[in-house]
Amino acid sequence: MDLTATTTDLANAAAEAVRLLPGRTLDPVLAGLLLTASEDSVVLAGSDRERAVRLSCSAAVHTPGRVLVPAKPLAETLRALDVPMVRIAVEGARLAVRTPTARFALPLLDADLHPGVPTAPPLAGKVDGGQFVSALGTVAATASRDEALPLFTGVRVRADGDRLVLAATDRYRMAVASLPWIPVSPDLDALIPATLLAEVAKQARGQVALHSDANRVGVAWDNSVVTTALLDGSFLSESKLVLSAVDTHVELDADALLAAVRRVALYADSRGVLKLEVGDNEIRLRSADQQAGEAEENIKADVSDGRTSPSFQSRFLIDALKPFSGGRVRLAIQPGMRATVFSSPDPEVVMDLRYMVAPMRPPAT
């Protein structure tokens, strides 16, 4: 193998591959990156048998070839270079990374021992990358990080006609986003690791294609494809969240409420809990702590029906309000320990988002 490529492009592809693969294996072969050079491109691919990634980068290929090298050292070396072009060539038992003034040599691993990178499952449909990334940024963040409960570490992605529905929960909060998409198969219903989708949200550009079968799911954009095994288990359906008990509706400016929550939360107790008291045409945020003191702030709001006044953990309340920044937010409040639903009152929004937060026991007075 011998090729020349733009340093930035090759460095970005290598870094992207490293971020998309979990990197938890001690097997040097599975921790390696396959480079395949042919015609006018080089493909970077890797797999740990559970997750696989394949990326393509333009290159001037002088000698075609296929090699396996340690992934992280390659990515870190390319990232450290400050030259416009880089040459990659096999030299004996090493893969040399050359610039006009330097040479870095990585050991070649046995490519024949690598399990290979499976092709993506059949195409399920396509979605606008900007909208998909925006939805993932909110939904994937509500998934649990407790790997002892793998069911709650995933994002359920399913097709519903011409809408793509994303849902995740950590049992204390739940986010459900619905956005338009172009379906190819009506059978998409997959529980995908949230950590992978969170990384996809940082990198995806343009139109995003989703691929799926009974065991695997793939996400593709530009020249990037990442596939992974599905999480096992049945996910709580958002359709089971009955909101017939809603007795209080509040609508107000999301930014005003978010700013007030951040200020009042400075005086919250060790649990970070504050109370949201509903009045006739305003809501009042209250918090108190023996050491920090106490705080309260009023915000104008449109209030209808009851006056149920729940308490929330402030960080969950902040996360629930962020997606509605720049507009108004509607709160559908249920009595007792039932969840409050945050949504946009704007009927013209492209992405329909519902963010549910479970209340907390009120702070001691």
Model confidence pLDDT, tens digit, residues 209-259: 999 998 999 999 988 899 999 887 666 566 655 566 899 999 999 999 999
| Sign of CA pseudo-dihedral 200, 201, 205, 211 | positive
Per-residue model confidence (pLDDT) at position 364: 61
Are the C-beta atoms of 17 and 48 separated by less than 8 Å?
no
Residue 202's pLDDT is what?
86
pLDDT tens per residue across span 82-133: 999 999 999 999 999 999 999 999 999 999 888 888 888 999 999 999 999 9
Domains, the chain, ordered by start: 2-113 (3.10.150.10), 123-237 (3.10.150.10), 243-357 (3.10.150.10)
How would residue 147 be classed by pLDDT, with cut points 50, 70 and 90? confident
DSSP single-letter state for residue 225: E
Split at pLDDT 50, 70, 90, the class of 314 is very high
Each residue's pLDDT tens digit, 27-53: 888 889 999 999 899 999 998 888 899
Which of 216, 209, 249, 251 lies closest to 230, judged by CA? 216
Q: What are phi and psi of 195, to 5 degrees?
A: -65, -40
**CA–CA gap between residue 306 and residue 333 (Å, rounded):** 9
Phi-psi region of 31 (alpha: psi -120 to 50; beta: other; left: phi over 0): alpha
Who's near 158: CB < 8 A, 6+ residues apart?
Answer: 164, 165, 188, 189, 190
- The mean pLDDT value of the chain amounts to 91
pLDDT tens per residue across span 259-294: 999 999 999 988 999 999 999 999 999 999 888 899
Give the percent of the chain with pLDDT over 70.
Answer: 95
* ∠ Cα 20 22 26 (to 5°): 140
For residue 177, the cross-strand partners are 166, 353
Specify the pTM: 0.86
Q: Which of 232, 147, 148 is nearest to 195 (CA)?
A: 147
% of the chain surpassing 90 pLDDT = 72
Residue 197 has pLDDT above 80, yes or no: yes
DSSP 62: E
- Residue 318 CA to residue 231 CA, distance in Å, equals 29
